[in-house]
Structure 1
Amino acid sequence: MRGNRAVRLITELGAGDHLCCIYETEEEHRAIITPYMRLGLERGEKVLYIVDARTASEILEYLERDGVQTRSYLQSGQLRMLTVEDSYMKGGVFDPDGMIELLSQETELALSEGYSALRVTGEMTWALRGLPGSEKLMEYEAKLNQFFPGKACLAICQYDRRRFGPHILLDVLTTHPIAVIGTEIYDNFYYVPPEEFLGGALPVKALDARLRNLRERGRAEESLRRSEERFRTLVDSAPVSISIFQDGRVRYANPACVRMTGYSLEEQMAMDTMRMVHEDYREQVSRRIEAILSGKAKPSQYEMKIITKSGEERWWLVGASLVDYEGRPAVLGIGRDVTENKRAEEELAWALEVNKAVAELSSRLLATSSIEDISYAVLEIARRLTGSPYGYVGYIDTDTGYLVSPTLTRDIWDECGMEDKKVVFKEFTGLWGWVLENRRPLLTNRPREDGRSRGVPHGHIPIERFISVPAQVGEILTGQISLA
């Protein structure tokens, strides 16, 4: 007894399951039967469909419209379309035991052919035509519940509510452990075990079964309520962000998620979830969500940046998986703020890179004699550490006091369009001159807006950012390193 609820998706059905499908529209019929058959084919099961109210062509069209190439399955024998005469009425009379024996033989045949199970579904409208033995239909349905347990076989018995009367459908519900009503799948609250159904005094047995199910349901609901309370307490007190996403919106967020993002639950539920994702990661996150909802992605962890309500960028380690929320697929996200860890990793990586650069520079200086080579070695490492495309290293000529920058000729001159190019500077002007005159470092990401700037001559390479440091020995100015 699992309780009266939409317990499972069609994908969760497996060997041993016996279902009735009570539908009222062709759309409902197609919505259940198509994935039921397609999943069987995809999972390497043998699929049998027994037609009556519809033709085999109509059912095959269901599959074709869902992207299934039926011809190959028909040719291999994995998919078979049977008639009522091939199955229920084989021999001209419906015999419950004979039909169950046929199912048993077909199951053994499917396994011997290498299939993992036999998946069957049949249209039951034939029983309305008064055919010989059709009055034993409910006996057959009850006996199937003795056959299916432990067998590599599952089946859906199809009942069109527009054609079957209420008294028959009540018995149908009584004899099927799982019921599909429309497009929802339920563990059947009204199911009566076969030994009770076939044992006589059915009204009394049915009443006993329903009273027993009521008591079991009450106990199950109380147990579920206590479990939900414990789960809610755990989630609400968790130090990590826990949230549920559905249809591009947050459907639930725990207090930690509210605290970590700065957005209240109401704000998160009203806004587009992607607003909280850094623009560099939105496409990646969207693809992951689509993959999870389609069932193509396994639970995994990945790092991403979020934007808090205050505009702060934070690093999160996120785990995401597929869940069912209020009867529909959703994404469960669990996020842990790892910003401080990322900063520590970056600082460590930077320290290692600097130490490596210092060691490399020391080695190169020992092997280099000219001031030009020394300057270029220093510039090369400085550019690598800062990721700067341009730069220069210059030294102060001790005789003239001029700045001499031999490194300008190696990289910059090919790109510079200035007519008057020089490597010796007698006057210290602009931002670089300010650094030398004041013997202080300078960093700006908007050099053109800096009041100390004198602009750049026509043809000069563009300067989008600027950092410069004076080189000194004690109080003596010896040179300069500048990067842009």
Structure 2
Amino acid sequence: MTDRRKAVREMELGDHLCLLFDNDEERRSIMAAYVRDGVRAGHKIIYISDAVRAGDVLGWLAGDGRDAVMPEEGAPVDLAEAMEAGHFVVRTAEETFLASGRFEPQESIELMATEIDLALVQGYSGVRVAGEARFSLRRWPGTDQHGDFERMLDQVFMTTDIKAMAICQFDRRWFNAGYLAELESCHMGRVRVNDYYDDGTLRITPIFSPPGVELSGVIDGATGPAAEKVLASISTRTGLLCLDLGGVTGCDDDGLRLLTRADRPDLGPNRGLLLRGVPPGLGERLRSSGLAAAQGVAIEDGPG
């Protein structure tokens, strides 16, 4: 089956993707990257807020001073400065979709098209829209047509040379699974967090529940240094570190040494290491190394 997920840094004008999330840190990491990349690219960013209050969006994207799970890539971006310049705009779902007192899909799409045209006239090279969709569950007049709106919007993105991209955000904790599947089908695919590393042999991707990384591919003498650098950069950010090894297809002795060193008792007594989805052969080698006997270490086998 084709993977319909696209890393946020790989998004292009014309993309209409959805973000299905149940972890707020994952969502924030994706949206912060999306907005920062847009500022760097000379795009107008329109953020439609609902679950996050409009006045809190700027601080939420910046992380309110907390360590970011995904560090900023590229030249630093001052989002407050971008907002002051009109480069980054935050609006509420109510003022965006219910200005007439009722949610009208066709009217909302036409207003969005007008916004995009205006931004292009103003000199922006494109427009990035990010919308929180929880408003559609509030039973405001017309919000029962939200599925129709997503289908119509997807058709616009697929059939026109639109100089815009969009991410529609759906919180799994609010939407039932059946309706969520229907809404997902109205998008070209899903957006996902950026990888820490991908050289075609090994891919390292952040995970959030529990925090850590997913490793897919081969861990060996060639890819080990990059993996070690990633693990060192995230090891101090959390008490529990999870390494999801379900996608590992090969691991030589250098890779094995790297995994056994992921246990870092020097970081404190509350340090924990979870190796999840471990392939059977690799699990036997890890247990033989003595890692499983270390305090705070758990090894969970993947399917045989």
User: Is contact 2:101–2:141 with CA below 8 Å preserved after alignment?
Assistant: yes
- Give the alignment's TM-score, normalised by structure 2: 0.60
Matched with 1:126 is 135
User: What does residue range 345-360 of structure 1 map to in structure 2 within 5 Å?
Assistant: none
After superposition, the Cα gap between the structure-2 partners of 1:124 and 1:244, relative to the gap in structure 1 and judged at 3 Å, is: farther
Matched with 1:29 is 27
User: Is contact 1:53–1:125 with CA below 8 Å preserved after alignment?
Assistant: yes
By how many angstroms is 1:58 displaced? 2.9
Count of residue pairs brought into register by the alignment: 200
Q: Does 1:155 align with 2:166?
A: yes
After superposition, the Cα gap between the structure-2 partners of 1:180 and 1:13, relative to the gap in structure 1 and judged at 3 Å, is: closer
By how many angstroms is 1:86 displaced? 2.3
User: Is contact 1:45–1:118 with CA below 8 Å preserved after alignment?
Assistant: yes
Q: Which has the higher strand share?
A: 2
Question: Letter of the aligned partner of 2:163 in structure 1?
Answer: A
By how many angstroms is 1:10 displaced? 1.1
After superposition, the Cα gap between the structure-2 partners of 1:132 and 1:250, relative to the gap in structure 1 and judged at 3 Å, is: closer
- Which structure has the bigger radius of gyration? 1
User: Is contact 2:39–2:77 with CA below 8 Å preserved after alignment?
Assistant: no
User: Is contact 2:32–2:62 with CA below 8 Å preserved after alignment?
Assistant: no
SS in 1 for 2:59: helix
By how many angstroms is 1:80 displaced? 0.4
User: Is contact 1:110–1:117 with CA below 8 Å preserved after alignment?
Assistant: yes
Distance 1:249 1:86 in 2: 47
Question: Letter of the aligned partner of 2:225 in structure 1?
Answer: G
- Give the alignment's TM-score, normalised by structure 1: 0.38
Could you tell me which of 211, 223, 227 is aligned with 1:246? 223
SS in 1 for 2:170: strand
By how many angstroms is 1:46 displaced? 0.3
Structure 1 portions without partners, runs of 5+:
186-242, 252-264, 273-484
After superposition, the Cα gap between the structure-2 partners of 1:250 and 1:158, relative to the gap in structure 1 and judged at 3 Å, is: closer
Q: Does 1:164 align with 2:175?
A: yes
User: Is contact 1:121–1:155 with CA below 8 Å preserved after alignment?
Assistant: yes
After superposition, the Cα gap between the structure-2 partners of 1:12 and 1:96, relative to the gap in structure 1 and judged at 3 Å, is: same
After superposition, the Cα gap between the structure-2 partners of 1:51 and 1:244, relative to the gap in structure 1 and judged at 3 Å, is: farther
Matched with 1:100 is 109
Matched with 2:189 is 178
Distance 1:39 1:50 in 2: 17
After superposition, the Cα gap between the structure-2 partners of 1:165 and 1:8, relative to the gap in structure 1 and judged at 3 Å, is: closer
Matched with 1:141 is 150
Cα-Cα RMSD: 2.7
User: Is contact 1:244–1:250 with CA below 8 Å preserved after alignment?
Assistant: no
After superposition, the Cα gap between the structure-2 partners of 1:145 and 1:250, relative to the gap in structure 1 and judged at 3 Å, is: closer
By how many angstroms is 1:270 displaced? 5.1
Distance 2:221 2:111 in 1: 47
Distance 2:104 2:11 in 1: 27
Distance 1:5 1:32 in 2: 18
After superposition, the Cα gap between the structure-2 partners of 1:6 and 1:267, relative to the gap in structure 1 and judged at 3 Å, is: farther
Distance 2:140 2:188 in 1: 26
SS in 1 for 2:252: helix
SS in 1 for 2:20: strand
Question: Letter of the aligned partner of 1:118 in structure 2?
Answer: V
Matched with 1:91 is 100
After superposition, the Cα gap between the structure-2 partners of 1:250 and 1:123, relative to the gap in structure 1 and judged at 3 Å, is: closer
User: Is contact 2:21–2:170 with CA below 8 Å preserved after alignment?
Assistant: yes
Matched with 2:86 is 77
After superposition, the Cα gap between the structure-2 partners of 1:270 and 1:40, relative to the gap in structure 1 and judged at 3 Å, is: same
By how many angstroms is 1:121 displaced? 0.6
SS in 1 for 2:6: coil
After superposition, the Cα gap between the structure-2 partners of 1:62 and 1:250, relative to the gap in structure 1 and judged at 3 Å, is: closer
Distance 2:226 2:50 in 1: 45
Question: Letter of the aligned partner of 1:42 in structure 2?
Answer: R
Matched with 1:64 is 62
Distance 1:132 1:245 in 2: 58
Distance 1:250 1:26 in 2: 26
Matched with 2:46 is 48
Q: Which has the higher helix share?
A: 1
User: Is contact 1:45–1:119 with CA below 8 Å preserved after alignment?
Assistant: yes
By how many angstroms is 1:71 displaced? 2.4
SS in 2 for 1:109: helix
User: Is contact 1:22–1:179 with CA below 8 Å preserved after alignment?
Assistant: yes
Query: C-alpha offsets along residues 20-73 of structure 1, whole Å, 9 cap, x if unaligned?
Result: 111102112112111111111111100000111111343211343455322221
User: Is contact 2:51–2:132 with CA below 8 Å preserved after alignment?
Assistant: yes
Distance 1:247 1:57 in 2: 44
User: Is contact 1:249–1:268 with CA below 8 Å preserved after alignment?
Assistant: no
Query: C-alpha offsets along residues 183-208 of structure 1, whole Å, 9 cap, x if unaligned?
Result: 489xxxxxxxxxxxxxxxxxxxxxxx
User: Is contact 1:84–1:90 with CA below 8 Å preserved after alignment?
Assistant: no
After superposition, the Cα gap between the structure-2 partners of 1:73 and 1:84, relative to the gap in structure 1 and judged at 3 Å, is: same
After superposition, the Cα gap between the structure-2 partners of 1:173 and 1:17, relative to the gap in structure 1 and judged at 3 Å, is: same
Distance 2:227 2:31 in 1: 32
